[in-house]
Amino acid sequence: MNIDWKSLHTAAIGAMRNAYAPYSKFPVGAAASTTDGRTVVGCNVENISFGLTLCAECSVVSALHTAGGGRLAALVCVDSRGEILMPCGRCRQLLYEHGGPEMRIAVSDGSIPLSELLPRAFGPGDFAAGQQQPG
Tell me how crowded residue 135 is: count the other CB atoms within 10 A of its CB: 3
Alpha carbons 71 and 83: distance in angstroms, whole number:
25
Residue 116 is among the residues annotated as catalytic for this protein: no
DSSP tag of 97: H
Closest by CA position to 13, among listed 32, 28, 3, 33: 28
The strand order across the sheet containing 39-43 reads: 39-43, 29-34, 72-78, 104-107, 110-113
Alpha carbons 130 and 61: distance in angstroms, whole number:
25
Name the catalytic one among 46, 57, 83, 102.
57
Which residues are designated catalytic? 57
